[in-house]
Each structure stands twice: as C-alpha cells, then as structure tokens.
C-alpha cells in the first residue's frame, strides 16, 4: 500500500477543506435546525468538483487515488454530514452502480448529469417491513408487452424527496436471477414520494418512494444475482464509515478546544486526568478508523474487492463515532446537549451511521463467515456472502 499523495492532490484537498469550511460548515447548524439543505450547499459541492472525485477520467471523474478520495470525503463529512450523505449517495454509490451493472457508455446519459450536479440520485433498497432481510422485499419489476413496469414501496431512503433518478433494488419477474437494479426516472407518472422525520442528519432528505406501475426503459432494467449485491453496498459502507470519522473528528476538535479553554478548579479542564484519558482515547480510535478507511479506499480504487475490510470498518468506525460524541458531551458538559451547539448535532448524527446502509450485527456475521465460521443463513433468498467467504486466502 502506498498512502503518499501528490502535491497536486494535496492542494485539491486543501481547496475543498477551505471552501467547505467557509460555506457549508458555517451553515451546518442552521441546515440542521431547518431540516433541509440550503441551495448554496449544493452549489458549493458542484463548484468544488467533489462530485467527480470518485471516478476515472474516462467516465467523467478526476482519476484520483483512493487516499485522496477518502480525504476529500472527510473534508465534506466534517463540514456537514447531511450534505455529505446526500451528495455522496448520488455521486459515488449511484454512479458506481450504474457504471458497474449498466452499460458504461450507453448509461453516460444517466451518469453525466449526476456528476455535473444537474441531477441527484437515490438508492432505494429497504422497505417498510424490513431492512436487513432482503427476502421480505416485495417491490417488483415485471414485463408488460414491450415495456417494463415497477410497483412497490421503498422507505427510509436518502434523497427520496429530492432525487430525479432512483437506482432501485427490486425483484425481477421472469428472470433466473430473480433480482435487478432498475434505473427509474422519478419524473415519470406513477411515482409518489414522502418525507420522514429523523433524529440526526436532519438536513439530509430522507423518506419513502411509492411506485405504481412506473414505466422503466428496457435498457434500464439490469438483472443482478444476489451474491453480487453487497458489492454495491460496500461503496456505501465505505462512505458511511467516513461520515462517522468526520463526525468523530469534529466532536473531538470541539472537545479539545473546550478542554483547553475552560477553567476548572484553577486550571484548564484539560489538566484533569479523566478528561485527558477521554481525549487520548478519542484521538487513537479516530486515527485507527481513518487508517482502515484509507486501506479500504486504496485497495478498492486499485480495483480489488474490499468487502471483507469494509465489513470490519463500518461497525468499528460508526460505533467509534458514537463513543467519541458521547465522550465529547462528557468533556463539554451540558453545552454538548444544548441545541445550537455543534456537538449536540454531532451526538444525534453519529448513531444514524451505525444503522444506515446495514446494521452492524449483520456485518459482523459476514466478517465471521469470512473467518471460516459457519454462515448464519443458507437460504439463497437472503443476503449471502460479501466476498469474504469467496476468497478467504486472498485476505
């Protein structure tokens, strides 16, 4: 592994940090209070080049290495985790899915507007009845003469109310795989969306989509075999882990500043041994998660499957962020629980990442399977291996 970055890439990341700190970070508390992303955030994201960070030059990206991509992600995650989730779900996860499972040339018509910021995408997988258990999903694509129609409901979906395009994980009637990705134009008749309130990441659009016989072009229905499904999810696990690292770093910085500035018993609060221990543990755990994230991003960008590593990263990084924000609240006292203080917001944002994209316990099972322990499920209609068990020798 080579984690060194070029001077040009360092300048690019520094420029992102400067832009995002000045604009998006300054608006983060107001966006949280309003429960919506300001227009200016999207403009700043587009103008910065962030949407092109994840892709090779041939498909409209910047051709950056994995470590630079991870650093760029953290720059936005630190500024505003809600903006980060919304933009990265579209520009990273949805574009990768379309390019991987669709036709990289023919589907440029879908991916180019996502990379230029003219359009936004969402990735609806889970439904009202279940998240982890794909076996219960009912949304279905079926053939109707020369066309395809999709019907069903997806719930708890990032960008549900603002997206123009959905990469829907759906059942597919009449195909041996039984499943597909359907690239659904959300401006077509038969689509209804609704917003859902949420504890953290409040500015991130989140809600449900109802499809009532919505027409999907034949080339936009791509059969997928269930064991391949986690590969798309793995991009999500990586970005969600970096959301957690950004949240943890922001909470740590606020706690450290407070420990230096606040006087207690005639000395800075940070002279207390318990406060020092909390801050030292925060520092170590954030750096450990970041290093694993760089490792995942570097290998993935080099073209390797990293579902095993990302399966370990996501539970570790997201639960670390919950611990870190709790410790930050301890250091800050009641300021950390006061609406309007950034740490109060981060304390609500952190647990969203533990659940979002796959609950930790499911991932731990997949990691354990990769260690050679028996698989929890043998029913083929459930999420199977992640690649951990496909090539254990390659770890």
Ligand X SMILES: Cc1cc2nc3c(=O)[nH]c(=O)nc-3n(C[C@H](O)[C@H](O)[C@H](O)COP(=O)(O)OP(=O)(O)OC[C@H]3O[C@@H](n4cnc5c(N)ncnc54)[C@H](O)[C@@H]3O)c2cc1C
Nearest distance from C-beta of residue 265 to ligand X, angstroms: 40
The verdict on 136 binding ligand X (CB under 6 A) reads: no
The structure tokens listed for 148 are 């395809």
Of 219, 213, 110, 199, the C-alpha closest to 153 is 213
Of 267, 128, 106, the C-alpha closest to 196 is 128
Nearest distance from C-beta of residue 203 to ligand X, angstroms: 12
Site for ligand X in 158-197 (CB under 6 A): 158
Unique residue bearing structure tokens 């092109």: 52
The verdict on 208 binding ligand X (CB under 6 A) reads: no
Nearest CB to ligand X, comparing residues 125 and 221: 125
Nearest distance from C-beta of residue 288 to ligand X, angstroms: 23
Nearest CB to ligand X, comparing residues 235 and 298: 235
The verdict on 130 binding ligand X (CB under 6 A) reads: yes
Tell me how far apart the alpha carbons of residues 188 and 35 are, in angstroms, rounded to a whole number: 27
The verdict on 81 binding ligand X (CB under 6 A) reads: no
Segment interacting with ligand X, rule: CB under 6 A, options 11-19, 188-196, 303-311, 351-359: 351-359
Which class for 142: exposed (0-12), middle (13-18), buried (19 or more C-beta within 10 A)? Answer: middle
User: In 249-394, which ranges are E strands?
Assistant: 263-264, 267-268
Segment interacting with ligand X, rule: CB under 6 A, options 47-55, 278-286, 315-323, 356-364: 356-364
In the chain, DSSP finds a helix count (H) and a strand count (E) of: 12, 10
The verdict on 44 binding ligand X (CB under 6 A) reads: no
Q: Which of 131, 207, 270, 311 binds ligand X (CB under 6 A)?
A: 131
The verdict on 124 binding ligand X (CB under 6 A) reads: yes
Segment interacting with ligand X, rule: CB under 6 A, options 64-72, 122-130, 140-148, 317-325: 122-130
- Whether 210 contacts 127, CB under 8 Å: no
- Whether 132 contacts 358, CB under 8 Å: yes
The verdict on 12 binding ligand X (CB under 6 A) reads: no
Binding mask 243-272 for ligand X (x = CB under 6 A): ------------------------------
Write b or e for each residue in 72-100: b if 16 or more Cβ atoms lie within 10 A of its Cβ, otherwise e: bbbbbbbbbbbbbbbbbbbbbbbbbbbbe
The verdict on 205 binding ligand X (CB under 6 A) reads: no
The verdict on 342 binding ligand X (CB under 6 A) reads: no
φ/ψ of 345, rounded to 5, equals -65, -45
Tell me how far apart the alpha carbons of residues 103 and 108 are, in angstroms, rounded to a whole number: 8
Tell me how far apart the alpha carbons of residues 232 and 236 are, in angstroms, rounded to a whole number: 7
Nearest CB to ligand X, comparing residues 79 and 259: 79
The verdict on 311 binding ligand X (CB under 6 A) reads: no
Q: Which of 152, 208, 357, 387 binds ligand X (CB under 6 A)?
A: 357
The verdict on 273 binding ligand X (CB under 6 A) reads: no
Q: How far is CA 100 from CA 115, 235, 284, in A?
A: 16, 12, 36
How many other C-beta atoms lie within 10 A of the C-beta of residue 274?
A: 9
The verdict on 365 binding ligand X (CB under 6 A) reads: yes
Nearest distance from C-beta of residue 31 to ligand X, angstroms: 15
Unique residue bearing structure tokens 């998660």: 289
Nearest distance from C-beta of residue 8 to ligand X, angstroms: 33
Q: Which of 132, 136, 151, 253 binds ligand X (CB under 6 A)?
A: 132
- Whether 236 contacts 352, CB under 8 Å: no
Q: Which of 191, 195, 210, 359 binds ligand X (CB under 6 A)?
A: 359
Nearest distance from C-beta of residue 358 to ligand X, angstroms: 5
The structure tokens listed for 100 are 């991987």
Size of the site for ligand X (CB under 6 A): 22
Nearest CB to ligand X, comparing residues 25 and 122: 122
The structure tokens listed for 6 are 């070029």
Nearest distance from C-beta of residue 375 to ligand X, angstroms: 11
Of 53, 48, 50, 74, the C-alpha closest to 63 is 53
Binding region for ligand X (CB under 6 A): 89, 122-126, 130-132, 156-158, 201, 352, 355-359, 361-362, 365
């Amino acid at each position: 592994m080579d984690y060194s970055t070029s001077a040009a890439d360092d300048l690019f990341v520094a420029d992102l940090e400067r832009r995002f700190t000045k604009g998006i970070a300054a608006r983060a508390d107001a966006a949280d209070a309003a429960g919506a992303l300001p227009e200016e955030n999207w403009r700043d994201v587009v103008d910065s080049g962030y949407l092109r960070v994840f892709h090779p030059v041939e498909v409209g990206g910047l051709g950056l290495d994995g470590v630079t991509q991870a650093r760029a992600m953290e720059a936005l995650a630190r500024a505003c985790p809600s903006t980060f989730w919304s933009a990265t779900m579209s520009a990273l996860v949805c574009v990768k899915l379309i390019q991987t499972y669709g036709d990289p040339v023919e589907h440029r018509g879908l991916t180019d507007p996502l990379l230029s910021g003219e359009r936004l995408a969402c990735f609806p997988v889970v439904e009202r009845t279940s998240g982890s258990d794909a076996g219960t999903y009912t949304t279905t694509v079926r053939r109707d003469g020369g066309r395809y129609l999709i019907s069903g409901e997806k719930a708890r979906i990032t960008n549900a109310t603002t997206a123009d395009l959905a990469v829907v994980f759906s059942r597919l009637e009449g195909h041996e795989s039984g499943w597909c990705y359907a690239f659904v134009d959300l401006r077509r008749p038969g689509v209804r969306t609704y917003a859902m309130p949420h504890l953290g990441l409040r500015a991130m659009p989140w809600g449900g989509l109802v499809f009532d016989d919505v027409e999907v072009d034949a080339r936009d229905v791509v059969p997928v075999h269930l064991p391949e499904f986690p590969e798309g999810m793995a991009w999500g696990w990586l970005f969600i882990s970096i959301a957690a690292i950004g949240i943890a770093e922001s909470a740590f910085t606020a706690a450290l500043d407070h420990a230096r500035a606040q006087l207690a018993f005639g000395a800075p609060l940070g002279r207390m041994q318990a406060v020092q221990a909390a801050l030292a543990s925060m520092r170590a755990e954030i750096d450990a998660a970041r290093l694993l994230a760089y490792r995942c991003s570097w290998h993935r960008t080099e073209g390797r499957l990293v579902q095993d590593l990302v399966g370990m990263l996501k539970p570790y990084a997201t639960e670390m962020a919950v611990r870190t924000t709790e410790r930050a609240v301890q250091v800050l006292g009641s300021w950390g629980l006061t609406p309007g203080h950034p740490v109060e917001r981060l304390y609500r944002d952190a647990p969203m990442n533990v659940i979002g994209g796959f609950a930790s316990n499911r991932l731990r099972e997949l990691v354990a399977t990769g260690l050679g322990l028996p698989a929890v499920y043998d029913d083929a209609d459930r999420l199977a291996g992640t690649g951990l068990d496909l090539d254990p020798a390659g770890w």
